[in-house]
Amino acid sequence: MVVKIQAISSAEPFQPEGPQPLVCEPPEGQPYPVEALGALKGIVEAVQGETLAPVAIAAQSALACASLAVQAHADVETLGGNAPCSLFCLTVAVSGERKSTVDDHLMKPITKFEHEAAKYHVAEMADLENDVAIWVAKHQQALEKVKKATGSSVEVAKEELDGLDPRPQPPANPELTVTEPSIEGLWLAFVQGRPSLGVFSDEGGQFLGGYAMNSDNQQKSLAAVNNLWSGKPIKRTRRGDGVSTLYGRRLAIHLLVQPIVMQRFIAGGLADDTGFSARLLICQPKSSIGERYYCNVKFDPSAKAEYEARMNSILMVPLPIDEHTGALKPRLMPLSPAAKQLLVTFADELEERQAPHGDLSSVTAAASKAPEQAARIAAVMTLWSNLEAAEVEADVMTDGIALARYYLEEAVRLSSAATMTRELANAETLRVWLLERFEHDEVVTRDVQKDGPSRSLRTSSAARAALTVLEKHGWLIRLEPGALVRGSNRKEAWRIVKPNHSASPGFSSY
């Protein structure tokens, strides 16, 4: 995503309308490759036709929901080893884009499954109380025999006590999704519930900006979800309890967020530094607001019924769980020789494009993971069509690669925005500081480096970049070289523009 900054040269006069907001305006991306969605194409087109929202939003929801449904049953062969069929999706759209409405359509059979399973869970919990009461009585009776036994009867009584069945445990929580978990909460959900879960939220800002991603927890949270994406065990260390490890867990993610939420999250830098961003299938489609005429609405109840029936049939299949550990035991789904060759060709192409000065040199992390993303997507679509499929065929891999290309193009589009967003975020932080806390009317680079509001502005290049952005947007006016500022002639200095209105509305996103 390219950030447009309206150019205002230092030689041009100050614009009479006053300082301008710092604006991030992404250019239009490529059309979503709907034809590559295989068996999911029908439901995506049906939901888009009914809601008139961008088709990419429906496609993201469909892929994420399908991943949640199938991820427990199989892992997929990739060029770098076996990997889960879990997808991490991030959909970026402004408020009013009907992203929640779209997601509701795709989540409907999952929500219905959870609702019905909850009814059985209540009945199972009631039965558990009776089973525990019976077990406690038997245990107490056997224990009393041990206490009263003498001589050779002691061993007999102990054998009877040891022979009792284990204490009945609560049935697993049947919910498939959580919305705003801390890592501790997600851990508990895995312990008490299913070993295959999804973090799904149409208010993804609650997750990206919530407790799990605050400054104290973000690195720990991102490390944990990265491990889950890779199929690795997750560990928890607690004082008094020591280290606990969960094996065989799977996690799908779909977060729907507004642009400003995504920009602030990416601007923090840690999402890139930890590799979390590269694991995301991100899209920010062109808005359809203003073009959603009701006369164009199309209803396709048969496609929706087919999707809901397929989802329900998959969710009804028992999960492959180790009865002793509770860990998943997914089978391995290999790639057909032709599918593998397609993936090799794709990977080699991307490797060449990542070379210095190549068109993917700025997104090497995402480009390196794109072949695996293609294999994961192809596996999800294969399992969606046939949960017992023996392998990923070449035609489905072709579709998976097409979709992976789309998401990689989005990553390229957004990578420049990540850099520019950090610059704009620095500039906005500096702007507020200059207007609300800086006591002088003129500012020089050294002021920002030495006393500025952020550690990210401590270098001269970062400080000058932020000052230049503010100058271009009319919040600073460059003084003539040699201007006298606080008793010294300065090669470079700016006068601060202080409007009468509040300093707060300086950063906006479209």
Tell whether 213 and 275 lie within a shared domain. yes
Flag whether 56 is in a domain. yes
Give the Cα separation of 470 and 472 in Å (integer).
Answer: 5
Residue 43 near residue 303, CB atoms below 8 Å: yes
Q: Taking the mean position of all CA atoms in its chain, how far away is CA 60?
A: 12
Name beta bridge partners: 252.
198
String of b and e for 273-286 (b: at least 16 CB within 10 Å)?
A: ebbbbbbbbbbbbb
Q: Which of 3-7, 45-49, 57-61, 424-428 has the weakest average pLDDT?
A: 3-7
Tell whether 185 and 226 lie within a shared domain. yes
pLDDT of 420 higher than 70: no
pLDDT of 201 higher than 50: yes
Give the Cα separation of 504 and 431 in Å (integer).
Answer: 9
Tell whether 99 and 180 lie within a shared domain. yes
Residue 464 pLDDT level (bands cut at 50, 70, 90): very high
Tell whether 278 and 311 lie within a shared domain. yes
Flag whether 201 is in a domain. yes
Tell whether 228 and 318 lie within a shared domain. yes
Tell whether 73 and 200 lie within a shared domain. yes
Give the Cα separation of 309 and 302 in Å (integer).
Answer: 10
Containing domain of residue 489, as a range? 426-509
Flag whether 388 is in a domain. no
Torsion of CA 152, 157, 158, 162, to 10 degrees: 150
Residue 503 pLDDT level (bands cut at 50, 70, 90): very low
Tell whether 147 and 202 lie within a shared domain. no
Flag whether 300 is in a domain. yes
| Residue keyed to tokens 């697993």 | 172
| Residue keyed to tokens 């999704």 | 177
What pLDDT is stored for residue 301 in this prediction? 96
The 10s digit of each residue's pLDDT in 158-198 is 777 677 777 777 767 788 998 766 788 888 889 888 999 99
Last residue of a domain, one of 294, 310, 333: 333
Give the Cα separation of 31 and 116 in Å (integer).
Answer: 38
Last residue of a domain, one of 272, 303, 333: 333
Mean pLDDT of 97-126: 87
Concatenated DSSP letters of 240-292: TTEEEEE-S-EEEEEEEE-HHHHHHHHHTSHHHHTTTGGGEEEE-PPP-TT--
Residue 374 near residue 403, CB atoms below 8 Å: yes
Tell whether 302 and 261 lie within a shared domain. yes
What pLDDT is stored for residue 77 in this prediction? 98
Tell whether 320 and 438 lie within a shared domain. no
What pLDDT is stored for residue 444 in this prediction? 96
Tell whether 85 and 146 lie within a shared domain. no
Determine the residue type at 85: C
Tell whether 132 and 197 lie within a shared domain. no
How many domains, in total, are found in the chain? 3
Flag whether 382 is in a domain. no
Provide the CATH number for the domain around residue 454. 1.10.10
DSSP, res 173: B
Flag whether 358 is in a domain. no
Supply 477's token pair: 């006016």
Flag whether 177 is in a domain. yes
Flag whether 18 is in a domain. no
Give the Cα separation of 63 and 377 in Å (integer).
Answer: 8
Q: Which of 7-21, 396-410, 466-480 has the weakest average pLDDT?
A: 7-21
Last residue of a domain, one of 333, 357, 378: 333
Tell whether 248 and 327 lie within a shared domain. yes
Residue 232 pLDDT level (bands cut at 50, 70, 90): very high
Residue 72 near residue 319, CB atoms below 8 Å: yes
242 or 8: which leads in pLDDT: 242
Mean pLDDT of 282-296: 93
Determine the residue type at 10: S
User: What is the pTM (predicted TM-score) of this model?
Assistant: 0.76
